[in-house]
Amino acid sequence: MKRRDFVKKATLGSLATLIGAEIVFGARMPEGYQPLALQDPDPFKMFSKNKDMVVLNDKPWNMEAAAHLLDDDITPNASMFIRNNGLVPENIDVSKWTLTIDGESVVNKKTYTLAELQSKFEHHTYQLTIECGGNGRSEFNPPAQGNQWTVGAVHCASWTGVRLRDVLKDAGIKNDAVYIGFHAADLHLSRDAGKEAISRGCPMAKALQDETILAFKMNGEDIPFIHGHPLRLMAGGWPASVSGKWLTGISIRNKVHDGSKMTGDSYKVPCKPIAPGETVKEEDLCIIESMPVKSLITFPKSGAMIKAGTALNIRGHAWAGELEVANMEYSIDFGSTWKPAVLKKPVNRLAWQHFSAKVEFPQKGYYEVWAKATDTKGMAQPMLVPGWNPKGYLNNACHRIAVKVN
């Protein structure tokens, strides 16, 4: 959908959300008029993003951060990647927003207003690591299908909401429940109202975790429009596609959810290793659940130049899906030897962990600093791209930065 088409169809409330301010005298605008603030839109301004972010696609919007933009302990909106599967909602009226709990395995179908969710259930706040399943896709050879993400499709913000578990139990969960599926207000790229842009889910065990929440605030403020305002499902440690934006419904299923992007090869990898370029039957693909161990050097920016005899202080983040990172190391000799980095504990489960190290170089010349994390089960990041898969998912190869010592 072209941006001007969206603007023509949007309500005054939606336009005000995009502009970031009330449109005074908006009711007097000529029908179909496009405000100057949205003509030839600058996506960085429109979504309040850092100018160093990279736009991969605008139909739908997909944008990633460079590694150095993710240096904050808690990711601000300006540096958060955008991953959409459809068109952003055109009509958002918070006063009328509802969430419906239904499905084969619900005891009582229930619909809650946003105000009811916020008043009826206890609020909880967690820092949650969210990473696109295709983060790092650009490194696969032969090229894999999809947006060519490099390293910046990950973030860890602070999310506030109510536990999904509390809401599901209020509606009632039948004994045969095995999965949940989400439903949202974003539009299918075809604009066919009978199709959902994305409707994924997770097993009940994940849905019932403490940290799986229905969030209405991010970093202490209303969730930004592009990240799911006014209500988002948050399931940290799993592919970001499970954390549905613009949430309008949750179905409690008695089978694996079969919504859009749950079937075919979406967010699935071969159950067994395959040769690069090999095709795989759907029945031989497994749904991605917990993300693999990974790390990112966020300071300094790749290409750093320092004087001989000077130590370089590096820092970054590490995460391991449902697990914790147990050990963090760095190498300056292309992985021949490794030295320990200082690793902090996560502030809560499913939050990323911060690491730092003082790196010294033996002589002048070109170096690469590589970072490697190992999780609590002993799984370490591979030095180079792991096994190939058709959609380029789960690349958790060591991150590295270039350094020149003069």
The pLDDT profile of the chain, 406 residues, written as one tens digit per residue, is 344 444 444 566 666 666 566 777 777 777 766 666 555 567 888 888 999 999 998 889 899 999 999 999 999 999 999 999 999 998 889 999 999 999 999 999 999 999 999 999 999 999 999 999 999 999 999 999 899 999 999 999 999 999 999 999 999 999 999 999 999 999 999 989 899 999 999 999 999 999 999 999 999 999 999 999 999 999 999 999 999 999 999 999 999 999 999 999 999 999 999 999 999 999 999 999 999 999 999 999 999 999 999 999 999 999 999 999 999 999 999 999 999 999 999 999 999 999 999 999 999 999 999 999 999 999 999 999 999 999 999 999 999 999 999 9
Show which of 64, 86, 107 is a domain's final residue. 64
At 134, list the tokens.
């295709």
Regarding whether 309 and 160 lie in a shared domain, the answer is no
Q: Which residues contact 308 (CB under 8 A, 6 or more apart)?
A: 361, 363, 364, 405, 406
Residue of 208, 205, 213, 222 lying closest to 123 (CA atoms): 213
Show which of 287, 317, 339 is a domain's final residue. 287
At 138, list the tokens.
């650009």
Q: Which domain holds residue 24?
A: 3-64
What is the full DSSP assignment across 124-190? EEEEEEEE-TTTTGGG-SSPPSS----S-SEEEEEEEEEEHHHHHHHH-B-TT--EEEEEESPBPTT
Show which of 64, 80, 106 is a domain's final residue. 64
Q: Is residue 82 part of a domain?
A: no
Cα(136)–Cα(211) distance, rounded to whole angstroms?
Answer: 26
Cα(302)–Cα(194) distance, rounded to whole angstroms?
Answer: 46
Cα(194)–Cα(176) distance, rounded to whole angstroms?
Answer: 28
Residue of 148, 184, 156 lying closest to 240 (CA atoms): 156
> Before 142, cis peptide (omega within 30)?
yes
The single residue listed with the structure tokens 């075809």 is: 190
Cα(134)–Cα(148) distance, rounded to whole angstroms?
Answer: 8
Instruction: Check if the beta carbon of residue 93 is closer than 8 Å to that of residue 73.
Output: no
Cα(289)–Cα(237) distance, rounded to whole angstroms?
Answer: 8
Regarding whether 341 and 199 lie in a shared domain, the answer is no
Total number of domains constituting the chain: 3
Q: Is residue 317 part of a domain?
A: yes
At 355, list the tokens.
């690491």
Q: Which residues contact 27 (CB under 8 A, 6 or more apart)?
A: 12
Sign of the Cα torsion 247, 251, 257, 263 reads: negative
* Burial class (CB within 10 angstroms; exposed 0-12, middle 13-18, buried 19+) of 205: exposed
Q: Is residue 393 part of a domain?
A: yes
Regarding whether 252 and 186 lie in a shared domain, the answer is yes
Regarding whether 113 and 58 lie in a shared domain, the answer is no
Q: Is residue 394 part of a domain?
A: yes
Regarding whether 273 and 306 lie in a shared domain, the answer is no
Regarding whether 212 and 111 lie in a shared domain, the answer is yes
Instruction: Check if the beta carbon of residue 124 is closer than 8 Å to that of residue 44.
Output: no
Cα(1)–Cα(389) distance, rounded to whole angstroms?
Answer: 30
Regarding whether 54 and 201 lie in a shared domain, the answer is no
Compute the C-alpha angle 65/351/330, nearest 5°. Answer: 70
> Domain containing 266 — which CATH number?
3.90.420.10
Buried b (16+ CB within 10 A) or exposed e, 213-250: bbbbbbbeeebbbbbbbbbbbbbbbbbbbbbbbbbbbb
Q: 333-384 pLDDT, tens per residue? A: 999 999 999 999 999 999 999 999 999 999 999 999 999 999 999 999 999 9
Edge-to-edge, what's the strand order for the sheet holding 342-343?
294-299, 312-319, 353-359, 342-343
Q: 235-281 pLDDT, tens per residue? A: 999 999 999 999 999 999 999 999 999 999 999 999 999 999 999 99
